[in-house]
């Protein structure tokens, strides 16, 4: 017996969340030609070149060749956390990421969000605005997951004293003060996950969701040595020893063996999926039904027909494609606030 595409689409169930973690590799894969204006997306390894920081580092006589940007920043911070050079670099980094613009056409980030449900979570380590902007343009049209920011982000502002955050220009509902931009850069040696009010709240949401999760996808996150604390926090919340059928999926261009050993502390039995390309991942194969597919495959040992989204579809086509999925989800009673009138005519 096979679970057909139509059965999968038409029989959504109330299941536990699918958590997706995005690292810098995800943004690089999503925006291979850069932003709407062709501005390149840097990683920690090439940030000095792309943001043209060499002249400033030379001026400060700072060694930068073959150095990861986070290491350079930590070194500078150690010398003098209040130095004008450090402030200048922080300003350049913030302004660069803040200036990035999401292309007008659907992007991989739109595809990820539309392929998941409000019960799921997409968490990003990235400073760039693409996930936030993709979420913002779709959230009132399609029921999509909440997003959380595990480091600072250029689109998000927060209150230093209260767990309140939102867009720039917004006011803290508690103290009525204007929210301030989240900080992007932290020296590696200073752990911030429990100190910074914004990041602390975001991590609490992630830990709670991870404890409950049925599927975990790690996309383009290299788990750098500088961020061991992040991986430890995730691992404790995921708590492998209490799990039987949950699945870990890694989307990454590294060799499978490397990824298997890197993520072994998270993998239950042999339940590991790997793909170098998002469009071959479980999210793209079983959009909005990843957990239903998993239960059928793992608990009932049934094959499940795939329901690939079209990576080249424009917004109208994407919305028509997603409409029958959302219509079927109405039986779950969680999308009631959503009207599918704006989604065009469905193809099925």
Q: Which residues bind Zn ion (CB under 5 A)?
A: 159, 161-162, 172, 174-175
Comparing CB distances to Zn ion, the nearer of 198 and 266 is 198
- Alpha carbons 140 and 308: distance in angstroms, whole number: 24
Shortest Cβ distance from residue 150 to Zn ion (Å)?
22
Phi, psi of 298 (to 5 degrees): -90, -45
Quick one: DSSP state of residue 151?
S
* 106 burial type by CB count under 10 A (0-12 exposed, 13-18 middle, 19+ buried): buried
Q: Strand, coil or helix: what is 3? A: strand
**Cβ 261 to Zn ion, closest distance in Å?**
44
- Do the Cβ atoms of 157 and 165 come closer than 8 Å? yes
Q: How far is the CB of 240 from Zn ion (least distance, A)?
A: 38
Q: Residue 162 or 330: which CB sits closer to Zn ion? A: 162
Q: What is the dihedral of CA 36, 132, 119, 140, to 10 degrees?
A: -80
Cα separations (Å) of 306 from 20, 309, 339?
Answer: 20, 10, 26
| Count of beta carbons in the 10 Å neighbourhood of residue 88 | 14
Output the smallest distance, CB 159 to Zn ion, in A.
3
**Nearer of residues 163 and 344 to Zn ion, judged by Cβ:** 163
Residue 60 in tokens: 């400060």
> Token pair of 244, please?
């039987």
- Cβ-based nearer residue to Zn ion, 91 or 167: 167
Cβ of residue 169: shortest distance to Zn ion, in angstroms? 15
Smallest gap from residue 108 Cβ to Zn ion (A): 35
Comparison of 158 and 323: residue with beta carbon closer to Zn ion: 158
Using N-to-C axis directions, what is the helix angle for 197-212 and 228-238, rounded to 10°? 40
In the chain, which ranges are E strands? 18-22, 121-124, 146-149, 157-158, 165-166, 180-181, 215-219, 247-251, 272-275
Closest distance to Zn ion from the beta carbon of 157 (Å)? 11
Q: Which residue has the tokens 């940030």?
A: 47
Q: Which is nearer to Zn ion, 170 or 276 (CB)?
A: 170
Between 87 and 177, CB nearer to Zn ion: 177
Nearer to Zn ion, 110 or 202 (CB): 202
Closest distance between Zn ion and the C-beta of residue 196, in Å? 14
Tell which residue, 28, 222, 16, 11, has the closest CA to residue 116. Answer: 16
């Amino acid at each position: 017996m096979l679970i057909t595409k139509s059965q999968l689409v038409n029989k959504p169930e109330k299941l536990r969340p699918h958590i997706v973690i995005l690292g810098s590799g995800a943004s690089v894969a999503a925006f291979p030609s850069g932003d709407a204006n062709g501005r390149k997306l840097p990683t920690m390894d090439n940030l000095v070149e792309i943001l043209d920081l060499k002249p400033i580092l030379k001026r400060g006589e700072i060694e930068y060749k073959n150095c990861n940007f986070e290491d350079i920043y930590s070194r500078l911070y150690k010398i003098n956390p209040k130095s004008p050079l450090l402030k200048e670099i922080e300003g350049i980094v913030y302004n660069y990421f803040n200036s990035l613009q999401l292309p007008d056409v659907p992007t991989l980030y739109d595809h990820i969000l539309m392929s998941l449900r409000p019960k799921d979570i997409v968490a990003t380590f990235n400073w760039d605005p693409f996930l936030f902007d993709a979420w913002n343009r779709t959230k009132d049209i399609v029921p999509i997951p909440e997003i959380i920011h595990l480091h600072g982000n250029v689109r998000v502002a927060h209150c230093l004293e209260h767990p309140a955050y939102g867009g720039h220009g917004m006011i803290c509902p508690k103290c009525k003060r204007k929210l301030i931009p989240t900080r992007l850069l932290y020296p590696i040696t200073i752990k911030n996950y429990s100190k910074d009010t914004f990041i602390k709240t975001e991590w609490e949401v992630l830990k709670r969701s991870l404890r409950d999760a049925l599927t975990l996808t790690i996309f383009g996150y290299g788990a750098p040595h500088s961020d061991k604390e992040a991986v430890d926090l995730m691992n404790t919340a995921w708590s492998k020893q209490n799990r039987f059928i949950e699945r870990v999926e890694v989307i990454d261009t590294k060799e499978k063996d490397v990824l298997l050993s890197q993520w072994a502390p998270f993998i239950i039995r042999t339940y590991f999926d790997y793909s170098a390309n998002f469009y071959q991942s479980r999210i793209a194969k079983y959009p909005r039904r990843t957990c239903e597919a998993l239960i059928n495959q793992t608990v009932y040992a049934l094959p499940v027909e795939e329901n690939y989204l079209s990576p080249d579809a424009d917004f109208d086509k994407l919305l028509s494609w997603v409409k029958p999925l959302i219509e079927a989800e109405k039986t779950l009673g969680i999308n009631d606030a959503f009207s599918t009138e704006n989604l065009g005519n469905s193809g099925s």
